[in-house]
Structures are given as C-alpha cells and as structure tokens.
Amino acid sequence: MKHHSVTSPFVWVPDTQTTNQQDVLSNTDTAGCPLSGKRLAVKDLFHIAGLVTTAGNPDWAATHAVASHTASAVSALCNAGATLVGKTITDELAYSLNGQNIHYGTPVNPVTPERLPGGSSSGSATAVSAGLADIGLGTDTGGSIRVPASYNGLFGLRPTHGLVNTDGLVALAPGFDTVGVLTRDIATLATSMQCLLKGKPQVALNSPSLCTLDGSISRAQHSELITAWLQSCEFTQVSADETELDALALSEAFRVLQGDEIWQQHGAWITQNKPVFASDIADRFNACATISGAEIEAAKSVQRRVKHWAAKTINANTIAVIPTTPGCAPLLSTPATALGEYRKQLLNLTAIAGLAGLPQIHLPLFTLNGAPCGLSLIGPANSDLALIDLAQTLLEK
C-alpha cells in the first residue's frame, strides 16, 4: 500500500456556523487569557465532544461512538484562550514515528517536503510548522512529540510521565503515554505548558550543569554542530558516564514493554475487527501479540537500570544533553528495511526519558543538509517548567 502526501494536515476543521460545534471552540471573550489569539491544532487521538475520534484509522472510527466529552488537555488550552482550528492526522493508533498514514495521507513536511514529517503527531507538527496553527497538541509515547519537533524545526516537550492529564485520549501504552505540545517559539511552549500543568507539582533547578551524553552525541549525524554549540555555551559541563546505558538494549526493552501494554489496550479490538493497517504498523501489532513473559521480565530489568542511571545522573543540579534524533528526517524514498533499522537507533535515544518517565525538551538549534535537527535537555521528574526556563536561558546566551 502506497503512502500519498496531502497538503492539509487536518482531518476535521470546525464549522463556526454550526451551533453544536461551538462547544469545542474557545470562549468568544478571551481578552486577558494567556493563550488569547493562539490557534490550536489537536491530534486526532484526543476526544472532542460531538466528534468521532479516528485515531488515524477508519476501522477505529467506524467501531467507536461519537465522543461525549472533550479531553481535559484540549479544554485547558481552549479555556486559556486558544482557538481550536482543527483535528490533525496521526499515524494509525499513534504506533509509528514516521508520520505516514495510508488512509488519510502523509502530511507534507513544510521545511523539507522530500523528507518524513515525523510521527505520530505529524499533523499537529506540520500544521504548526506551516503557520496554520500556533500550538500543536500531541502525545509522546516513544517520541511522538520529540521526533516531529526535530524534523519540522519546532520546540517540543514530552512532560514528566503522569503529570498532564491523559483522560479523553485513545491510549497506546498508558505506562509511557504523555501529552505535550509543539510550537514555533519557546514562549508559546512555556505558556501552553503552564496552562496544562496548572496546579501540578513542579520542582526548581539549581543553576544546573549540562551533563553531555558524549557517546550518543558522537554517533549523531549532526555531532559536529552539537559539539560546536556546546563549546560556545557558557554553562558548566560534565560528561555523563554512559557505560551502563551502552550495555543495555534500550530500544528492545522499550519495544517489549510498550508492546505488551499496546496488546493489552488494543489486542481484543484488533482480533475482533481485523482492521486494515499499513504493513509496518501491522507487523508491529502482530509482534505485540507474541511477547513472552520472559521478555517482559528482561525488559523490566533494563528499565530499572535506566531509572537507576537517571537517578544518579539527572537532578536539580545536573541536566542531561542528548541528540533528539540520530540526525535530520529520513527521505520519503527511504526503503522500509532501512527505516526499520533507523527506528531502532531512534528509540535508543528517545527510550531514555521514556523508560525513566522524565521530561525532555527539544531545541531546534541546527540545520543539516538543509533540514532541521537539534538536541534535547532531559530533567528530573516534575521539572518541566524549570526545564523550559533553562532552555530559554540557554537560547539567550
């Protein structure tokens, strides 16, 4: 089945003349609201009252009822003054990092149209990158905020796991699912996350050092750009001890733990309805059904070791610096086998914050071969807003 590109990242846009759709729009009086004047694009994984959530798959849409309630994350942003401009394309059930969808199309990467837009929040990311929205609401389980942020030259935050409410959301793997945002500027990211984290616990950072994951940096396509940026940075820097991490099969552990949860969430529905999936996504779902108890125990052991490493390495005084992705987005023409191998490299980077449940912010600092890329900061649990503040400080230096 061939993926086709689409010019619009939206699968639904509001008809402002239709009364029953007014409930999902921002209040008309937004004067003084923190997100007044900001346009919001919502990944079609979030429920909005009165609409069917497609989750990127027509069979899902056909077997699920119209949503009766709006996800609290959507409501929080709209109540803060943002105006909903549409629901956006997502990879099927959010189970991909490429941004392609055989049913609804692959949103065009506005920066580099010949490259992948990155998933599974591809629609929200490309809407923001193209200037069609100011805030892209998405989810990040294995990298679905961080990866499209990197590919589209955006700021993106995967928050501390469990901190932003995930109600009204089609889950993928609840033990890893998070709700975050994508923006073109860091000020909008900060304000959006303040609205989503209102009343949630937050911790401060103590003028932290930057703890560089030099091995991961050296393996990145844009290693020279990262190194040059770090050399120009005035912050104190230390090198992380990656010996323990390098000995762990991070991507495999993440695949197993995520896959086990995915099959618990969707196995019965898939078995009963036999939905049509893209071949690579179908293969991953099929693999989820065969995960053994021994594999799960081994993966849990890896996760415990990652959490132990993170507890020793990342704290209020020390923030990890890591490439967000191995480099710029792969070309659309990249063969499926090569994308499969690339996915493992990618998950080795994104799995660290995922397995440890920590916040990670992507900074779109670089361009390589005409395409955007960058690096990430990983902070301790509940340091989300302080991590954004740190990023702002770094950008001003």
Catalytic residues: 43, 120, 144
Residues 6+ apart with CB under 8 A from 62: none
Q: How far apart are CA 174 and CA 183, in angstroms?
A: 24
Task: Answer yes or no: are the C-beta atoms of 72 and 48 closer than 8 Å.
Answer: no
Strand partners, 140: 178
Task: Answer yes or no: are the C-beta atoms of 94 and 57 closer than 8 Å.
Answer: no
Task: Answer yes or no: are the C-beta atoms of 120 and 56 closer than 8 Å.
Answer: yes
Q: Which of 183, 190, 132 lies closest to 156, judged by CA?
A: 183
Q: How far apart are CA 182 and CA 265, in angstroms?
A: 26
E strand intervals along the chain:
5-6, 10-12, 39-43, 83-88, 106-107, 135-140, 155-158, 178-183, 209-212, 237-239, 318-323, 360-368, 371-378
SS3 category, 210: strand
Which phi and psi (to 5°) does residue 211 adopt? -100, 105
Give helix 250-273 / helix 293-313 axis angle, nearest 10°.
Answer: 130
Strand partners, 360: 158, 378
In terms of DSSP bridges, do strands 5-6 and 106-107 run parallel, antiparallel, or are they unpaired? parallel
Give the tokens for residue 194.
Answer: 């303040």
